[in-house]
Chain A
Amino acid sequence: MSAPTSTTSPARLALLVAEREVTTQLRSRAFVVSTIILLVGILAGIVVGSVLSKRDTSPATGSATQRVAVVPATAGDLQGLPGFTAVPVADDAAARAAVQDGTVAAALLPGTPVRVVGRDGPPGALVAALTRAPAVEVLNPAAQSEAVRYLVPFAFGMVFLIVVMVFGQTIAQNTIIEKQTRVVEVLLAAVPARVLMAGKVAGSSVLALGQAAAMALVALLGLKLTGQDHLISLVGAPVGWFVVFFVVGFVLFAAMFAAAASLVSRVEDSGPVIMPITILGLIPFYLVIYGSGSPVLMRVLSYVPFSAVMGMPVRIYLGDAAWWEPVASLVVLAATTAGVVALAALVYERSVLRTGARVRLGEVLGRRATA
């Protein structure tokens, strides 16, 4: 027999499934078009936001020259930067005092890299003017404008929510279609159910991460084009953590969507099984946006696995998370994800071949006992 030896590993099989998942999606016109619309929307949002924020810029940071307190060690750094007037002060303490009482818009202090001090928010114009990204210090972070307080949680939440909902629906739909068209039985003759689910989740995760990365790139590009580069260095660390949380959190949701979808046999029936998961994504989103002013609530949200993806990066951004907190939260999230994936695989395995009426979750999980 010329058939090849069947030593194909589960990992390779999952990869094949994932590959099909990705190529099918990339060829889907609906997916491509919706992605483009999303990216254009982000770019437009940034441009519009930039225009609006320029309009209400206060005179101190406006087009006239900005007064910047400098100490002897940094006096030279400001030379050659148009639009800034150096106001020499004796030392760091005097510089901070000057910023605090409003006699200067910002202060430039020595350090590696140099430290830029603002009162109620980062001194954007100065940060942007410096050739090397400075460390930013805000004297009264609590006074940061309401808009910014909402904007960052909103951006993190929106990106995660959009990607989870779009890809969650896709995973659910593809799972049901495989069941509805019975192709799943042909597949199961070649691929174990768990591997099939793993491949689907992996394929979607790659696409989701790709789409999120595209959104991030477009956002960066937009900030660059509108001259708001300084914001990039401000959100750098939170965004880095966000990506890590995003990947793990996405797998958590993807596995739940796949398992839930395997309970029904027709796309029309998907609503009731998908709904609870959608709610699990929506509630944390609103809590993080409206709760960003409450440190206690935010602390809780940053550890609850379903909201950690949005909550923890926001806390890092607001600067009230200790270095070990994201690590601890990530461990909690990863452990939850591992548990949920195992459970989801069990549900998927036991219900994916049962067609007809909706399979009850309790029935699936309790079946071993009764069989």
Chain B
Amino acid sequence: MLELTGVSRSFGDVRALDGVSFSVGRGRLTGFVGGNGAGKTTAMRIILGVLSADAGSVSIDGRPLDAATRRTFGYMPEERGLYPRMKVAEQLAYLARLHGFDRAGAERRARELLTRLDLAPRADDRLDTLSLGNQQRAQIAAALVHEPSLLVLDEPFSGLDPIAVDTVVNVLSERAHAGAPVLFSSHQLDVVERLCDDVVIIAGGRIVAAGDREELRAQYSEPRHRLRAPGAVDWLAGVPGVVVIERSEGEVLFEADDAAAQRVLTEAVARGPVAEFSPVRPSLAEIFREVIRDEAPRTATGTAVAA
């Protein structure tokens, strides 16, 4: 497990990270979500050792990270970067060798990975002759080519079509199943919601929410339920402890604590068939908006103090 504890980093007067702590479990895909300038890229660079932290520590399985361990990590920076005039396979093999593979192993691995990412036909073309989507795949391959023990990807899905997203997701899941912690950031909250096991939300350099995706949704859900039943649902307003929020033909959204909700369900079943009865969980986008809103005033004060 990768663990950040109290990591802080400033650039001049700007406090990019302020006591950031979160963890990335082995075998799990962890989504890293935050607005522009929230500190995602800085945090990722610190994990990779590309930047140093002013305070705090990064450890894996309880051991502090050293250069040798970091070299087994795979990294895809937000700013894409490979040698434009180098052939794709050659470039990947070079990176694998920098990460400790021997020449033959590096070349074999590069070819395998390009095949997996449907890029094999372009393996011997120069990178700058590839389409943007294919360059993106090559970039992902560059992060994966040395069979990393941990993966950090900054916006890996931007610019990919849905089929390419699936291909990449498969490769990432494979790495996770092999036991590597996988952390990736994304602006596409629906993608994160669909793929991630865990979610970390950062705003203004601080972690505002982190944990298992479903637990987060449960935690941030208000006690709302939805009932769909073909018959009339007017009776619901009369149940004690129930506040109807929205009502349309055959469907009602209401607020109630667990006991009251159970009474509603019993009543509904007694009155006729029930098509759906479910607690309403907020989407990740809704949670995100909520935590960011909560965080906003605090950040403003913090900035004012710092300035």
Chain A positions near chain B (C-beta within 8 angstroms): 1-8, 13, 16-17, 20, 24, 178, 181-192, 353, 355, 370-371
Q: Which residues of B contact A3 (CB under 8 A)?
A: 72, 99-101, 146-149
Interface residues of B in 25-84 (CB under 8 A from A): 45, 48-51, 54, 67-73, 75-77, 79-84
- Residue contact A181 to B82, C-beta cutoff 8 Å: yes
Q: Does chain A have a CB within 8 A of B300?
A: no
Assess whether B50 is in contact with A183, with CB atoms less than 8 Å apart. no
CB–CB A181/B81 < 8 A: yes
Q: List 22 A-B contacts (CB under 8 A).
A: A3-B147, A3-B149, A5-B100, A7-B68, A16-B94, A24-B85, A181-B81, A181-B84, A182-B77, A185-B50, A185-B75, A185-B77, A186-B75, A186-B81, A187-B98, A189-B49, A189-B75, A190-B99, A353-B51, A355-B79, A371-B10, A371-B54
Tell yes or no: B4 within 8 A of A by CB. no
Cβ–Cβ contact B98 & A190, under 8 A: yes
Question: What is the chain A residue whose CB lies nearest that of B54?
Answer: A371
The A/B interface has a contact count, at CB < 8 Å, of: 90
Quote the shortest CB–CB distance from B255 to chain A (angstroms).
Answer: 49
User: Do A353 and B147 touch (CB < 8 A)?
Assistant: no
How many Å lie between the Cα of A20 and that of B83 in the bound state?
11
Give B84-99 interface residues, CB cut-off 8 Å to A.
Answer: 84-86, 94-95, 97-99
**How far apart are the CA atoms of A7 and B99 in the complex, in Å?**
10
Q: From residue B55, how far is it (CB to closest CB) to chain A in Å?
A: 12
B250 contacts A by Cβ under 8 Å: no
Check B67–A192 contact: CB distance below 8 A: yes
| Cβ of B179 under 8 Å from chain A | yes
A1/B105 in contact, CB under 8 A: no
Within 8 Å by CB of A186, from B12, B82, B86, B101, lies B82
Whole-angstrom distance between the Cβ of B85 and the nearest chain A Cβ = 8
Q: How far is the CA of A16 from the CA of B98 in the complex (A)?
A: 7
- Measured between beta carbons, the chain A residues less than 8 angstroms from B102 are 4
Taken together as a complex, chains A and B put the C-alpha atoms of A182 and B94 apart, in Å, by 16
Q: Say yes or no: is B142 at the interface (Cβ < 8 Å to chain A).
A: yes
Chain B: residues with CB nearer than 8 A to chain A?
10, 12, 45, 48-51, 54, 67-73, 75-77, 79-86, 94-95, 97-102, 105, 142-143, 146-149, 178-180
Which residues of B have CB within 8 Å of A192? 67
Residue of A nearest to B67 (CB): A192
B95 adjacent to A186 (CB under 8 Å): yes
Q: Which of B81, B85, B147 contacts A184 (CB 8 A)?
A: B81
Question: Which of A6, A24, A370: most chain B Cβ within 10 A?
Answer: A6
By Cβ-Cβ distance, the 5 closest A-B pairs, closest first, are A182-B81, A183-B81, A182-B79, A190-B98, A189-B75
Chain A min CB distance to B23 (Å): 20
Whether A353 contacts B50 by the Cβ 8 Å rule is: yes
Question: Whole-angstrom distance from the CB of A371 to the nearest CB of chain B?
Answer: 7
Q: Known interface pairs A4-B101, A6-B71. Does A186 touch B142 (Cβ–Cβ under 8 Å)?
A: yes
- What's the least CB distance linking A267 to chain B, in Å? 12
CB distance from B60 to the nearest CB of A (A): 13
- The reply to whether B83 and A190 form a contact with Cβ atoms under 8 Å apart is no
* Smallest Cβ-Cβ distance to A195: which chain B residue: B98
B296 nearest CB across to chain A (Å): 27
